[in-house]
Amino acid sequence: MTVIDANRMHEIETRYPEYFHRSFRQRFGGLIIVIATLLYSLYAVWFFDLPKLFAEAHWERVGIYLSQWVSYDVQPEFRIGDDGSIDIRYPRFSPLGDNPHPDWLVNNPDGSITVSISGTSRTVTVSKSETIVTAHGVSVPVELSGGAPKVVGPVPGWMTVYDDNVLADLGFAGNVSISVDRVKIRKRFIGWANFIFDTQSSFFDKPVGEAISLIVSGPRIKPDQSNLSLAFDDIWNNSEWQHGDVWTKLFQTIVMAFLGTLLGALTAFPLAFMAARNITPNRFLNQVLKRFFDFLRSVDMLIWALFLTRAFGPGPLAGSGAIFLTEMGTLGKLYSEGLENIDNKPREGVKSTGAETVLVHRYGIMPQIVPVIVSQTLYQWESNVRGATIIGAVGAGGIGLKLWEAMRTNANWENVAYMVILILIVVFLFDAASNALRHRLMGTKAH
């Protein structure tokens, strides 16, 4: 065991003061950061009143909206006449078409009608005098005589009685609204109704094999058009899903992002050379251009889109212009900062040969700045594909406006899901293409 005397200890402390005489920040900096983060978190909880926010939030709506993303419902209505007849009606533009005969609706010999909501465990039987709702292992009769429906026996927890209406909540499978003269049923199905062919198509409600056979080798439905062409027209012009309009708007969004980013990059590139202090030794010009870039970046792309839609009207031109202005400021700043951080030795070496300014920039600057330009431009292009969706919602064209219109109806959530999935696929593809192109141009291997 080595014993260190006082002189040797003093010598070590003098040689390595950073270990033996640490400052207050070095000793307590980590603890201060933890305490500050904790205090800020508590402040945020108080400022946003998070306990009240979470307590009053309508969490049940999350499940409703998500279920509507992956399902659709059919709403038959049974109207009971004074003579005891039961008339079945469906809403306009029902997913079942104009003349529905679903197999889950059965006419009984006694004149009543039984609707299977979910197999045999959840059913509704409608007759002229009562409606029997079977769910959760019990059958609850509801009398339809008098001025209001009356539940016979105890009222289960999944059934709510109002003054002139009884509502039975059957969960994801649907619900039943019962009044004296009518019973309205909402039956839910998994999937997207009529995604390929709508109810007006000649191929609607045909089995897959029959539809394919008819398209490939069947007799012509319209003498002047082949079945394949007719099927494509029916799909493209599907009135419920509007595939043609959705894909056209999606293509507009992609074009907006590409055109705006390309014009922004082409404009920012020469301006960045004038804004860089080491390239253009003119302080006034440097500062004017840098403040110009700051101004363009400080106004959000969404605000630019609002201004331009007022100037040029709604459409993709306003969207492309908004992206162009934003990218000119963002890329101009990034390019100029990249130029200011280059190594001047290659540039001075090319200049010493007597080369012209263009050649000095080409061989002394560009090899150093190209990786930055490529990386940042491709990243902004990829990001603008997402941004173009947002600005479309304010009238700048593209799929964003169509997505916003579907959300505003609060009833077409399956269409919202369709467009969100398309946007995600496009973003993933552009991300992969951007990474591949970046690595190819920079000569590195993608991981």
CA distance to 86, 92, 115, 144, per residue, from 183 (Å): 10, 17, 11, 10
Cα 319 to Cα 394: distance, rounded to the nearest angstrom:
10
In the prediction, which pLDDT does 244 show? 92
Question: What tokens were used for 79?
Answer: 């109207």
- pLDDT of 446 higher than 60: no
Residue pair 291/275 in contact by the 8 Å Cβ criterion = no
Residue 96, amino acid: L
Band the pLDDT of 434: cuts 50, 70, 90: confident
In the prediction, which pLDDT does 39 show? 94
Would you list the domain boundaries of the chain? 6-47, 75-190, 243-442
- pLDDT of 4 higher than 70: no
Looking at every residue in the chain, the average pLDDT score rounds to: 86
Name the CATH superfamily housing domain 243-442. Answer: MetI-like (1.10.3720.10)
- pLDDT of 447 higher than 60: no
297-345 residue pLDDT tens: 888 888 998 888 888 888 888 889 999 999 999 999 999 988 888 877 7
Distance of CA 333 to the CA centre of its chain: 30
12-55 residue pLDDT tens: 666 666 666 666 777 777 888 999 999 999 999 999 888 988 88
| 213-219 average pLDDT score | 87
Nearest to 328 by CA among 369, 295, 288, 284: 295
Cα 26 to Cα 32: distance, rounded to the nearest angstrom:
10
225-250 residue pLDDT tens: 888 999 999 999 998 899 999 999 99
Question: What tokens were used for 188?
Answer: 């839910």
In the prediction, which pLDDT does 433 show? 84
- pLDDT of 1 higher than 60: no
Element (H, E) at 130: strand 130-135
Determine which of 163-167, 226-230, 342-346, 438-442 has the lowest per-residue pLDDT on average.
438-442
In the prediction, which pLDDT does 403 show? 87
Look at 319 and 364; give whichever has higher pLDDT.
319
Residue 122, amino acid: R
- Percentage above 90 pLDDT, the chain: 33
Residue 92 exposed, middle or buried by CB count within 10 Å (0-12, 13-18, 19+)? exposed
In the prediction, which pLDDT does 144 show? 87
Question: What tokens were used for 319?
Answer: 């969207």
What is the SS3 string spanning 373-400?
HHHHHHHHHHHHHHHHHHHHHHHHCCHH
**pTM, rounded to two decimals:** 0.79
Cα 387 to Cα 397: distance, rounded to the nearest angstrom:
12
CA distance to 38, 164, 361, per residue, from 32 (Å): 10, 64, 49
Determine which of 5-9, 41-45, 365-369 has the lowest per-residue pLDDT on average.
5-9
Nearest to 328 by CA among 366, 296, 299: 296
Cα 151 to Cα 86: distance, rounded to the nearest angstrom:
20
